[in-house]
Structure 1
Amino acid sequence: MDFYSITIIVIFFYIFVTGFHDEGNLVATIIFSRSIDAKKAFILAAVAQFLGTTIISTNVSQTMAKDIVKYEYLFKSGSTISLLILSSLIGAMTWNFITWYFGIPSSSSHALIGGMLGPFVLEYGFNSINVQGILFRAILPLFLSPIIGFVTGYLVTFFLSEILKNQTPEANNVLKKLQYFTLFFLNAGQGSNDAQKGMGLIVILMMIKGQTHNFEVPFNIKYMAALMISLGLILGGFRMIKSVGTRIYRIKPFHSFNAQLSSLLVVSIASIIGAPISGTQLINSSILGIGAKERPTAVRWQFARGMIMAWFITIPVSFIISYLIYGLTKLL
Structure 2
Amino acid sequence: MALYTLTIAVIFLYIFITGFHDEGNLIATIVCSRSIEAKKALIIASVAQFLGPLIVTTAVSTTIAKDIIKYSYLLNSGENISLLILSGILGAALWNFITWYYAIPSSSSHALIGGILGPFAIEYGFHSINFYGIMTKVIIPLFFSPVIGFAAGYIITLIFWKLLKNAQPSVNSFLKKLQYGTMFLLNIGQSANDAQKGMGLIVILMMIKGNTHNFEVPFFIKYIAAFMISFGLLFGGFRMIKSVGGRIYRVRPFHSFNAQLSSLLVVTAATLVGAPISGTQLVNSSILGVGARERPSAVRWQFAKAIFAAWITTIPASFIFSSIIYMVAKLL
Verify same fold: TM over 0.5.
Answer: yes
Normalised TM-score (structure 2): 0.99
1:247 and 2:253 are equivalent in the alignment:
no
C-alpha displacement at 1:192, in angstroms? Answer: 0.5
Structure 2: distance between partners of 1:83 and 1:330? 9
Q: Partner of 1:237: helix, strand, or coil? A: helix
C-alpha displacement at 1:278, in angstroms? Answer: 0.4
For structure 1, the residue ranges without an aligned partner over 5 or more in a row are: none
Q: Which letter maps to 2:3?
A: F
Aligned to 1:73: 73
C-alpha displacement at 1:53, in angstroms? Answer: 1.0
C-alpha displacement at 1:59, in angstroms? Answer: 0.3
Aligned to 2:204: 204
1:73-152 aligned at under 5 Å gives the runs 73-152=73-152
Structure 1: distance between partners of 2:172 and 2:251? 13
1:300 and 2:297 are equivalent in the alignment:
no
Q: Partner of 1:35: helix, strand, or coil? A: coil
Structure 2: distance between partners of 1:47 and 1:73? 38
Aligned to 1:173: 173
Structure 2: distance between partners of 1:52 and 1:121? 33
4+ runs deviating over 4 angstroms: none
Structure 2: distance between partners of 1:93 and 1:240? 16
For structure 2, the residue ranges without an aligned partner over 5 or more in a row are: none
Q: Partner of 2:22: helix, strand, or coil? A: helix
Structure 2: distance between partners of 1:174 and 1:121? 52
1:280 and 2:280 are equivalent in the alignment:
yes
C-alpha displacement at 1:195, in angstroms? Answer: 0.2
C-alpha displacement at 1:241, in angstroms? Answer: 1.0
1:291 and 2:279 are equivalent in the alignment:
no
Aligned to 2:53: 53
Aligned to 1:31: 31
Q: Which letter maps to 1:166?
A: N
Aligned to 1:225: 225
1:19 and 2:19 are equivalent in the alignment:
yes
Q: Which letter maps to 1:55?
A: I
For residues 36-56 of structure 1, give each alpha carbon's deviation from its aligned partner in whole angstroms, at most 9, with x where no partner exists: 011110011000011111110
C-alpha displacement at 1:242, in angstroms? Answer: 1.0
Q: Which letter maps to 2:139?
A: I
Structure 2: distance between partners of 1:255 and 1:76? 51
- Percent identity between the two aligned chains: 69
C-alpha displacement at 1:104, in angstroms? Answer: 0.2
Q: Which letter maps to 1:24?
A: G
Structure 1: distance between partners of 2:134 and 2:196? 16
Q: Which letter maps to 1:227?
A: F
C-alpha displacement at 1:86, in angstroms? Answer: 0.2
Structure 1: distance between partners of 2:76 and 2:14? 25
C-alpha displacement at 1:237, in angstroms? Answer: 1.0
Structure 2: distance between partners of 1:157 and 1:170? 18
Q: Partner of 2:154: helix, strand, or coil? A: helix
CA RMSD of aligned residues (A): 0.5
C-alpha displacement at 1:331, in angstroms? Answer: 1.3
C-alpha displacement at 1:92, in angstroms? Answer: 0.2
Structure 2: distance between partners of 1:78 and 1:134? 23
Structure 1: distance between partners of 2:218 and 2:164? 46
For residues 121-166 of structure 1, give each alpha carbon's deviation from its aligned partner in whole angstroms, at most 9, with x where no partner exists: 0000001000000001000000000000000000000000000011
Q: Which letter maps to 2:110?
A: H
For residues 264-291 of structure 1, give each alpha carbon's deviation from its aligned partner in whole angstroms, at most 9, with x where no partner exists: 0000000011000000000000000000
